[in-house]
Amino acid sequence: MSKKLKKRVNGGLAIYAGIGSLITAVMSVVGFLVMIYKAVFLNGNYNWELYFIPIIGLMIAGTMAYILLRIGYEELEN
Q: Which residues of the chain fall below pLDDT 70?
A: 1, 44, 46, 48
Quote the pTM value: 0.69
pLDDT of residue 68: 84
pLDDT of residue 44: 67
Separation CA 55–CA 46 (nearest Å): 16
Residue 65: which residues within 8 A CB-CB, separation 6 or more? 18, 19, 21, 22, 24, 25
Separation CA 52–CA 19 (nearest Å): 24
pLDDT of residue 32: 83
pLDDT of residue 1: 63
